[in-house]
Structure 1
Amino acid sequence: MGVITYDMEVTSSIPPAKMFKAFVLDADHLIPKILPQAIKSVEVLQGDGGPGTIKLITFGEGSQFKSVKHKVDGLDKENFTYSYSIIEGDALTGSLESISYEIKISASPDGGSICKNTSKYHTKGDSQITEEHIKSGKEKASGMFKAVEAYLLANPDAC
């Protein structure tokens, strides 16, 4: 098994606490509302939202995938960090054991926030992941972050 690691950074004008609440804590309800074509629903299968929680994510009509199970690995509300892993589902494309993500939202000098995301693709055997696959994942994650930002800007009383 190999591990391929990619880092991504996205900035926002939204302060870190509000962005973390929307993008992480309220995401199960907020993202299907904002981006139903991407995420149709999120169902908690076990747990209370903290580490060890297992969720079933059902993708929307616009997705090439049907669903994944994701496990919460860590959640630190004070430091705005969140980590989770995709442990099952067709997004693993048969060549991946899992994909783990670490998200950290911190303050930017202008009062907004910087979201740093590290993705680790755990491949099966000597499977390879294409640059195109990684780029597609980064674009979707960035698009989701920007959609949440746009929602918060249009709805200042939300979250």
Structure 2
Amino acid sequence: MKGSLCHDFETGLPAAEVWEMYRGLRISQVVPQLLPDIFKKAELVEGDGGVGTVLHLTFSHGVAPLEYQKEKFIKIDHENYVKEAIIVEGGLLDYGFQKYLMRIEIIGQTDKTSTIRSTIEYEVDDEKTGNTSFVSTSALACLAEAITEYIKTQKSAEQACEETA
């Protein structure tokens, strides 16, 4: 069985600014601090943030049924602001999923605002279709909101420093 889910989050920020957080490894460095109830830690297994990079994500207790997952960046399009990663170990692969892909697209609406579109595409064994209830965009939606707030807080702090200088 194949399926997909999608979530859109309006940022109120320019697409290029949002992409700076998602494009490489920076996001993995701040995620555990921004979302400690979901992510315990994110560790670099291999790579430099480009295609082929593998991250080991450890989930916080309570993110049932998941303990960890390794995900590999398979597409990074700096021109169109698209990043794709697939789970290569752990996560929902342990529950009969053959494929679990996460796509983040930063879509510029105007010069001043953009949308973070989070998409999940999956394939699950026919005998395990009941496990599709585990598929959710909620973690990616929380991430989009947290990253947006983080960027806005950083911008406010920078502006305050500039004003006092």
TM-score by length of 2: 0.82
1:58 aligned partner: 58
1:85 aligned partner: 86
1:70 aligned partner: 71
What is the CA distance between 1:7 and its match in structure 2?
A: 2.4
CA distance in 1, matches of 2:88, 2:4: 17
Give the structure with the higher percent helix. 2
Secondary structure of the corresponding residue to residue 95 of structure 2: coil
Aligned length: 155
1:40 aligned partner: 40
Secondary structure of the corresponding residue to residue 13 of structure 1: coil
CA distance in 1, matches of 2:108, 2:61: 35
What is the CA distance between 1:106 and its match in structure 2?
A: 1.6
The structure whose Rg is larger is 2
Please give the per-residue CA displacement for 1:38-95, whole angstroms capped at 9, x wherever unaligned: 1122112122221122211111234222100101111122321101101221433422
State the identity as a percent. 21
Which stretches of structure 1, 4 residues or more, deviate above 6 A after TM superposition? none
CA distance in 1, matches of 2:8, 2:54: 26
1:94 aligned partner: 95
Q: Does 1:29 align with 2:14?
A: no
Structure 2 unpaired stretches of 5+: 159-165
CA distance in 1, matches of 2:105, 2:50: 16
Contact 2:95 2:131 in 1 (8 A): no
What is the CA distance between 1:10 and its match in structure 2?
A: 1.5
Q: CA RMSD in A?
A: 2.1
Contact 1:45 1:54 in 2 (8 A): yes
1:139 aligned partner: 138
Q: Does 1:154 align with 2:153?
A: yes
